[in-house]
Amino acid sequence: MNRSTIVMVLALLGLIGVWAMSGKERTQERLEPIVFKGFLTKESSLQDIKILNKDEKSPYTEFFIERQSDAGPVSYSIKLDPKTANEAKASDKTWWVTRKFAGRTLRVKAENYRIRIYNQALARNFRSSFALRAKGEELTQYGLDPKNATRVRAVSPDQTIKWVIGNTFKLSEDSNATWVMKQGQDDVVYQISGFDLHHHFKAGWKDIRDRKILDVNLATITRVELSNPHDKDSRNVVLTRAQLTPEQNKSLQDGTEWSKVRKSSDAWTLQSPKGLSLDEPELSGWLESLGRMTATEYVDLVDAKVPKDSGLDDSKEAIDIKMIAPDKTVHVRIGKLMPQGEEKDVYVQVVGGPNEVYGVAGWMGGQIKATVKKLRDRRLTQSSKAAEAVALTVVTRGERFQAQKAGDTWRSQLAIDPNNVTDFLKSMDEVRVEWPEGMTVAKDVMGPRTSTIELRWSDGSVRLLTIGEHSKRGDFAAWKGGEVMKVPEWNAGQLRKRGRDFLDKHLIQSALGDITSLTLPGAKGPVTLTRNDKGAWVAPRGPALDDKAVQTLLAQLVRSEYHAEEDISAAEAGLDSPAWTATVVARDGKQYELDLSDKRKENNPYGRLRVNGKAAKVFTISAMMVEVFRKTIDQLKAKASK
């Protein structure tokens, strides 16, 4: 066979091969695409579905999810509670999730937000872009192998969807695609463009379940028991209150929010220990912290045993709290800090509840750990309101001050400002104290320089408070027959009042409208201002005045109070030759002479006030007040009109 013949034979064989291959491709099976019809009748973007809550139209009532975890296979069965099936809002529906894992089954409430994400994935129509055959190890590159795939089944009255979901990848900068298989057809891989189904259905146990630990209605709770072994006074704490009335129960059944039926702090009595009142805001904060407690971690109980070193099985470590309602008891146990994590979560168990232990954020753990000292009323006056007293006696450094209420105002032998007494009593009600251990009234309160406050009420009841002298250890006080209290230093200073502290400290004790003349320094000596027949201020022998500026000066004078009396002479205060003097005369003939010095104490200038020529004590007055009214006639001149 010559060379040309050989070439022709080879060419013929090549053509036959090409024909054979092309024929094989033409006869290969055609893979049908996935065509999915979403439950929305009109096309919508995912963004619109989220913003407009269109997922609430979902007909799906059950979801089943299976996957492999590092510890073995896990499955979640999520079902809508039939009792809430007709609720219009997704947030008002209740879903339950049952997890099967490592031979154990656990059923808890599901997280509504996660169900919404499932429904958002099923809201829109889609069609697969293309399909290919793959099996065995080939499925790994698509995330569809048994180790990585998520098997999803969604059930509605009209259809059941069965998918195997794999990896999601980016098609473009703003578009994703997901690899999917149909359950029962595990050798055909489909690409779903424009959808991230992996994100929608791959969530783990912590994200599927409701993280709220307790299902408790605080309005119905009638008894709370606390046993805290870390505090000797808190090992047997019992709080009680009455049951809800039939009307309140009906209101709850009609859907009224529990806090509007009865507040968490309402009407509690501390049964044990006896003789103490409760701090309602603190009690409310504690109970509501328990009610909204959420988990950060979940630990399964193995053979019903709590984790080692959790403290939950140690009576010297665990804090027990029982919240008891007529139809239900919730028992919470708080253990030690969890060893893992930077935040140091706290072990928490619901005794008799799900077969698991929770990790609760450390800050939240601090809120739910309670003691008697934390719950008891920390107000200095507690249930007896000082503001409602009708008689007051204060003794400080041997000085006695007394005041009695006559009608709506306070009276005393001293020229007091009744508001000063009222404000003092109100401030007593606002003081918060602590109860230090190991202290006695005789040793830590009583002494030669103690102060006392006696309060008397209209029903004849009397209480006597003794305040000890300030020391490096702090300030301590005690009611007669009561225990030692530690008072914040600033508050203790405010309690040690003397008669002078209740005096009327207003410089001018006449009304602004009653002032008839004002004398101020001028360039050539004092100038007296009076009102003309139109009520405007004028200086008969002086310049035209800015009436508004004069009114501002007088208003500040009438409002001004001196800061404190000082035990120094006028000469020592620089008031023998004052730097500024003003004289105010009122309609009733009262004459006020105010002198100010350039000398100061803690930046406040010294002053002196004589009323009708009577000798006056030296005081200090606020520098800010003085800046407003320390004027000369020249500073009150009217501005020349343009």
Given a cut of 70, is residue 239 above it in pLDDT?
A: yes
CA angle, 118 as apex, 204 and 152 as ends, to 5°? Answer: 70
In this predicted model, which residue has the larger pLDDT, 413 or 14? Answer: 413
Selected from 2.60.220, 3.30.70, 2.60.40, 1.10.357, the CATH number assigned to the domain covering 386-502 reads 2.60.40
At 309-359, the pLDDT tens digits run: 899 999 999 999 999 999 999 999 999 999 876 568 999 999 998 889 999
Q: Give the model's confidence band at 480: pLDDT under 50 very low, under 70 low, under 90 confident, else very high.
A: very high
Given a cut of 60, is residue 66 above it in pLDDT?
A: yes
At 394-446, the pLDDT tens digits run: 999 889 999 999 999 999 999 899 999 999 999 999 999 998 888 889 888 88
Instruction: Spell out the residues 6+ positions from residue 282 whose beta carbon is closer than 8 angstroms to its own.
Output: 374, 375, 378
**Pair of tokens at residue 251:** 């209101």
Backbone CA torsion sign across 385, 387, 388, 389: positive
Any idea what DSSP says for residue 313?
T
- Specify the DSSP element, H or E, that contains 65: strand 62-69
CA angle, 71 as apex, 185 and 66 as ends, to 5°? Answer: 30
Fold of 218-375: Immunoglobulin-like (2.60.40)
Mean pLDDT is lowest, of 17-21, 30-34, 148-152, 340-344, for 17-21
The listed range with the strongest mean pLDDT (1-5, 418-422, 499-503, 529-533) is 418-422
**pLDDT (mean) for 604-625:** 90
Mean pLDDT is lowest, of 3-7, 454-458, 558-562, 602-606, for 3-7
Number of H helices, E strands in the chain: 15, 34
**pLDDT (mean) for 561-578:** 91
Task: List strands edge to edge, sheet with 527-531.
Answer: 537-538, 527-531, 515-520, 580-586, 591-601, 604-611, 618-621, 562-565
Determine the pLDDT at residue 542. Answer: 67
Determine the pLDDT at residue 175. Answer: 87
Average pLDDT of the chain to the nearest whole number:
88
Instruction: Spell out the residues 6+ positions from residue 495 whose beta carbon is closer than 8 angstroms to its own.
Output: 428, 431, 451, 453, 465, 467, 477, 487
At 573-583, the pLDDT tens digits run: 999 999 999 99
Whether the domain at 218-375 and the domain at 386-502 fall into the same CATH topology: yes
In percent, the amount of the chain with pLDDT more than 70 equals: 94
SS3 of 596-615: the string is: EEEEEECCEEEEEEEECCCC
Task: List strands edge to edge, sheet with 104-109.
Answer: 104-109, 95-101, 72-80, 62-69, 150-155, 160-172, 175-182, 185-193, 130-133
Break the chain into its structural domains and give their ranges. 35-208, 218-375, 386-502, 512-636
Q: Give the model's confidence band at 29: pLDDT under 50 very low, under 70 low, under 90 confident, else very high.
A: low
- Rg for the chain, CA atoms, rounded: 42
Tell me how far apart the alpha carbons of residues 123 and 39 are, in angstroms, rounded to a whole number.
Answer: 5
Q: Give the model's confidence band at 147: pLDDT under 50 very low, under 70 low, under 90 confident, else very high.
A: very high
Distance, CA of 150 to chain centre = 40
In this predicted model, which residue has the larger pLDDT, 345 or 26? Answer: 345
At 511-561, the pLDDT tens digits run: 999 999 999 998 888 989 998 888 889 987 767 889 999 998 899 888 888
